[in-house]
Structure 1
Amino acid sequence: MIFKDIVNRDIVNLQNCEDEPIHIPGLIQPHGFLIAVDSTTHKITVCSENINQFLSISYEQVLGKKIEELFNEAFLIELNQYQSENTNQTKVFNFTIDKQLFSISMHASVGKEIIIEAELTENQFTNSNSLYNSSKQLLSYIEDSFTLKELTNAVAVAIKKITNYDRVMVYRFDADYNGEVIAESKEEHLESFLGLHYPHTDIPVQARELYIKNHLRIIGDVNYKPVPLYTYAESHLDTLDMSYSVLRSVSPIHIQYLHNMGVGGTLTISLLHKDKLWGLITCHHYSPKYLSQEIRNTVKLHGHFITSQIDVRLLNEEYEIARKTNQAVENLISKQLDFDRSSITQLFQDTSIIELCNSTGISALIGDEIYTYGNTPNHQDIKRLSIFLSHYTEENHFSTNALSRITKDLSFISDEFPGINYHFIGNDYDCIVWYRKQTITDIYWAGDPKKSIEKDKNGLSPRKSFEKFTESVKDSSKPWLKSELTASQNFFNFFQIHLRSILLNEEKENQKKLSEILKETNAELENINWISTHDLQEPLRKIRMMASMLVGDDIKELPKDVQLKIIKMQNSAERMQILISDILKYTKTTAQHSDLEIIDLNILLQEIKEEVSDSLEDNEGQLLISELPTIQGVGFLLKQLFTNIIYNSLKFKSEARKPIISIRENKTSKDKYQKSGNYYKIEIEDNGIGFDNEYSQKIFKIFSRLNDKNEYLGSGIGLALCKKIMTKHNGLIAAEGQPDKGTIIKIYFPKN
């Protein structure tokens, strides 16, 4: 049988380390051995070279054999049980092989391999750090710690006591995965790392991903010599995914980094919160150090306890802040305020308005008015900021403690007020903004973060200097806490309701004034109607009468130009009478309050057909009426409606064909009004000159005309009157035209 190793020999350096496939090194640490078993055939497909140092057998003798040939029935029961559970979890148990006690770790790899890892183990617990005592310690954390800082400090002390590492740190990531040591327990002679920051480059992306998958990582001796993994040619395996492996060999770059720190052995526990890497518990020893599986599990349990308490402890820390901010909100919303603009000024004179979210100032832009309290930008800059934020975010709320990182165009604001807490009121650029002034923060790094890679005579290497480096951050304010943002949101909700009440009150006053004006106007209109009916109609009748006398039998005796002027005068007077008559009808329809009655449209249209018969005959037209529904309406108004539409069709007939007008109920088409099932749809279709559909709305406007008034007589008020009539019937009217083909008027009557 031919054997081959599966060591990944890709050249890795600091220029490509972020692409290093650290999950498939093909190497393990030497303090244990590894075999991989095909989950289907139970054949051993991968074996570490060092198996002979733990068992009296070589990897050549192991590869290709079935696992049943190497391990006893008790071990196979454990394997079969793991497979039957069909879980992604790692199975850990102690097992004796050749009179040696091993800690066995068993998990499924990507593909169909089951990875089995074995480490010699012993009971490292003493009476002072027994598993029971360590577990009981977790319960005491709940009683003895209130904040997250207190909890992480207690856990660091407990883990150091359990493991006896020289240094134990709790390490927390920020949004960019720069880390900060927030808790530490160490030997007295060691320099403290508490409060130091580490750049995100110290832990590459793929390493962070592995920390999410594999929650515990131990390096017993940073000077270890990696052990290669072997397979046989027939297995067709080129790599083995070791993401969940406890023995997986570490990146040589990380080993060099640990050498530069002077560390001899490490243990790292992942702290996950909401499925993200929140931080790490990192244990350093300055000489080689190995831990039994039991102690590792205990340390992992402490890590899980921290992450389970993150939300609770953060809430505890914010509780006192939340209590004060809520009290400030309560002070404001409990005020007895009138519903007028002066109440806004009253709110913006109370110090609680900035205390509610611990800001240094606040501004509100409402229409053309700006209200401020505390330290804020000037009015012009407030307007510029409001316009920018309305375009920058589609959300109604936005907050940042570093405005300059969002835009450089507002440096005149962000230099002094980098902290912005913005709420959009909902009209143009109206908004409320709370402000925070710049705070100069000193961040202490473990070495200069800009020198995470150093160059020496051997080329590029991880940084060697971890000496404290101070960086001053000047472009930000104190971050907005969740409780502060919640308090500002609560006040904003109250303010929106109050502002709406003010606007409604103002609208109510405006309506009262408009109502008075409308009454006066209506009274004047009644006078105008009276004048129109009597004083204007009479002179027009006389003009028409005199004109008709002049164009009688003696017309031939008059000069031709005089004849034309008299005829024009007569036509103008006639058009004026029609216009006045239509205006009266229009205003009468607007003021009409007649009760609705049941109207059979079939009977109504037959009456109309008789009334328009002379006009139909003069125009050689046809009026076709199909079966129509019975509706509720006002009889004389409905007569006016259909008569106007019929006369319109005759007026705008085509010279190329005789007019045909059909009136029918359309039950088949399903437009947006019919889909509701609440309307009868009546269509009046003609074959006249039609119109372009872009004017389908314009034709219903009063005095609107699409054609030359000299060519087609009329006031342009007919269809506007029709629309008024349909509005009075709680119905709808629409038009659809095709030039030179005809028009369809669609009217919708509500069903009972």
Structure 2
Amino acid sequence: MGIGTGVSCLVSKACNGAELTNCDGGVVLQHAAIQPFGFLLAASPDWKIVRASANLEEFLGVSCEHALRQPLSGIIMPRTLHAIRNRLTVIRGPVMFERLSGIAFAEGGPIFDVALYCTEAGIVIEAEPSQREGHGGPTLSMPAMMARIDQAPGLEAFFRESARQARAITGFDRVMVCRFDDEGSGEIVAEAARSGIGSLLGLHFPPTDIAAQERTFHARNLFRIIPDVDAAPVPVVPELDEHGRAIDLSLSILRSVPSGHTDYLKDMGVAASFSVPIVVDGRLWGLFACHHYAARLLSVERRLTAELFARMFASRLETRLCRLALEFENGARKIVERLLGAVVENTALPHDPAWLAEALAGAVPADGIGVWIGGRTALTGLAPSQQKFSALIDRLNGMASGHVFVTDRVAELWPEAEPNGDVAGVMAIATSQPPRDYIVFFRQEILGSVHWASSGPAEHDADSQALAPHKSFQAWSELMRGRSLPFSAAERHVAETIRVTLEAIRRLTR
């Protein structure tokens, strides 16, 4: 098979909807520019150069204009071209790319590290000067790093130790573990930082801090590197092909950075950043976000080590989260079993609202509980007044809400709720036929439980105002006004178990 035929087959696979999501209606990120720490060549299926970055001459001594429409063999020596072709034959799947390390494009020329991937229009070759660190690099310490995070006794310690190990790999001034919620808001749950730059631990930020297209980029790519926020983007020429399409750089390592994001980093005094996605159960759970206060280009070797660490971290995190969910459900099951045991001794207990509220305390994480049985009530912890609780029950009875009703924005359901009041989340369990009796778990507004881990965001020097964290927190606060922490799927499952148990008890004690 010739080189041109091989690439043609690969492009055909990419565009049949089975191999690459950018051809089957998925999101394609298009930016016709790259960062200047490397160069780019794009080739058509017949192996001719159809695009090149404007800085090509800086790396290969060939101008961008001269390279366009030439065969790749005109600027890449046969041995390297053969190696590229062989790597392309193993690319499979929607988000895959291949690498070549320490190769030259011309005999006796400089050595590059290369990334290869396919787009609808052909193949893309990205290259940057090699930074070989030699033997004894950070990869050799991976088992020890994993052992340290495995020994962490809880999630908080697990996150904290993982941030420390990620900082040991990258050498950045600050490394943070950022967690996203279902709507894209984020929280810094752990950090490791050099002394004297303050803390961002506990910072919450809105979805707008990471644009939707950047989030899509993180979900598709192994990492995101910005060695210098002041570096000028390098255009890819031509900007549009003959079909009017920009080049698809959704898998690009060199891809340029939206100005809004670099402005955000500059506001924080950050000069370089590096982030690695944390993917748990197939979704973007969060990021390892690394900041440096001077320009810093991380070597390919350390980037790949960080990416491997993030994958292993994600696997262990998934195991821990599954274990915690199981422990939670086992704990809730024991509460239900104790409830059943008590009823055997005294069949009147399930009709006592105060006893039921006490018996179910801790079954679902909540700040308060309300029980309504035939108009008799019991309210404990953070809960509304008797009058407002009665109004809520009337509202629930007027809804076809099913057996378990959940909301983290109770004001939308319950107009009587005070604006910005303490109670913001409700899980209501109907335990009889209409008009129903209810067990209601209450949660406070998220803002009531948020605290900074330090007096404020970092201050780096007299010229850096570090305004971005404060602005982000204020924007997030406005977004979270009147909302509680959502009830999880595991908590809903426990609520359904409580409902079924109480209905069975009532049938037996009539």
Please indicate, yes or no, whether the TM-score normalized by the shorter chain is above 0.5.
yes
Which residue of the partner structure matches residue 441 of structure 1?
Answer: 449
Q: Superposition pairs for residues 286-365 of structure 1, below 5 Å?
A: 286-317=293-324, 324-337=331-344, 342-345=348-351, 349=355, 351-359=358-366, 360-365=368-373
Listed one character per residue, the Cα deviations across residues 92-143 of structure 1 (whole Å, up to 9, x for unaligned) are 121233342211100112x22211100111223673x43122x313531453
User: Mean alpha-carbon deviation: is it higher for 412-421 or for 153-162?
Assistant: 412-421
Equivalent of residue 90 in structure 2, options 56, 67, 85: 85
User: Radius of gyration: which is bigger?
Assistant: 1
The normalised TM-score by structure 2 is 0.79
Hey, what's the Cα distance between the residues in 2 that align with 1:495 and 1:413?
34
CA distance 1:393–1:65, change in 2 (3 Å) = farther
Deviations along 1:468-487, whole A, 9 cap, x unmatched?
86769784566656665444
C-alpha contact 2:190 2:201 (8 A) present in aligned 1: yes
Q: Counterpart in 1 of 2:140?
A: 132
Please state whether the residue corresponding to 1:157 is helix, strand or coil. helix
Bigger relative CO (Cα 8 Å, ≥ 6 apart): 2
Equivalent position of 2:506 in the other structure: 499
Is the CA contact 2:73–2:81 (under 8 Å) kept in the aligned structure 1? Answer: yes
Q: Distance in 1 between matches of 2:199 and 2:387?
A: 50
Query: C-alpha distance in 2, partners of 1:150/1:125?
Result: 33
Q: Does 1:117 align with 2:126?
A: yes
Instruction: Find the counterpart in structure 2 of residue 429 from structure 1.
Output: 435
One of 259, 267, 271 as aligned partner of 1:264:
271
Cα deviation per residue 1:548-582 (whole Å; 9 max; x = unaligned)? xxxxxxxxxxxxxxxxxxxxxxxxxxxxxxxxxxx
Among residues 105, 120, 126, which one is paired with 2:115 in the alignment? 105
Given that 2:269 and 2:466 are in contact with CA atoms closer than 8 Å, whether structure 1 keeps it comes out as no
The match for 1:33 is 39
Following TM superposition, by how much is the alpha carbon of 1:217 offset from its aligned partner in structure 2, in angstroms? Answer: 1.0
Hey, what does 1:241 align to over in structure 2?
Answer: 248
Asked if the contact 1:197/1:444 (under 8 Å) is kept, the reply is no
- Aligned pairs for 1:395-414 (under 5 A) are 395-404=402-411, 406-411=412-417
Aligned amino acid, residue 45 of structure 1: V
Q: Is the 8 A contact 2:201 2:453 kept in 1?
A: no
Unaligned runs of 5+ in 1: 1-20, 450-461, 504-752
Q: Deviations over 1:317-368 (max 9, x none)?
A: 566655543332221112353897x353368525323343355334244xx5
Q: For each residue in 1:235-259, what CA deviation from the matched residue of structure 2 results, as whole angstroms up to 9, or x when unmatched?
A: 5565211111111111122222222
Q: Which residue of 1 aligns with 2:104?
A: 96
**SS in structure 1 opposite 2:344?**
coil
Structure 1 runs (4+) deviating above 6 angstroms are 445-449
The answer (yes or no) to whether the contact 1:269–1:300 under 8 Å persists in 2 is: yes
Q: Deviations over 1:397-438 (max 9, x none)?
A: 12234422x235131699464442212346223142223364
The verdict on how the C-alpha distance between 1:292 and 1:48 changes in structure 2, with shifts beyond 3 A counting, is same
Code of the residue aligned with 1:430 in structure 2: it is R
Q: Is the 8 A contact 2:91 2:97 kept in 1?
A: no
Consecutive unaligned residues of structure 2, counting only runs of 5 or more, are: 1-26, 458-464
Is 1:226 paired with 2:254? no
Counterpart residue type for residue 41 of structure 2 = I
CA contact (8 A) 1:345 1:371 kept: no
CA separation of 1:437 and 1:286: change in aligned 2, threshold 3 A = closer
2:49–2:70 Cα contact (<8 Å) kept: yes
After TM superposition, give the deviation of residue 282 of structure 1 in Å.
1.2
Cα distance in 1 for residues equivalent to 2:115 and 2:408:
47
For the Cα contact (< 8 Å) 2:281–2:318, is it kept in 1? no
Instruction: Rate the CA distance shift 1:382–1:481 in 2: closer, same or farther, 3 A.
Output: same
Amino acid at match of 2:317: I
Amino acid at match of 2:213: Q
Contact 1:147 1:317 in 2 (8 A): no
Paired residue total? 463
Does residue 1:45 correspond to 2:50, yes or no?
A: yes
Contact preservation (8 Å) 1:271, 1:303: yes
In the alignment, the residues of structure 1 paired with residue 165 and residue 148 of structure 2 have an alpha-carbon distance, to the nearest angstrom, of 10
- 1:309 and 1:497 mapped to 2: Cα distance? 39
**Which secondary structure does the structure 1 equivalent of 2:82 belong to?**
helix
152, 156, 159: which one aligns with 2:163: 156
In structure 2, relative to structure 1, the CA distance for the partners of 1:35 and 1:299 (3 Å cut) is same
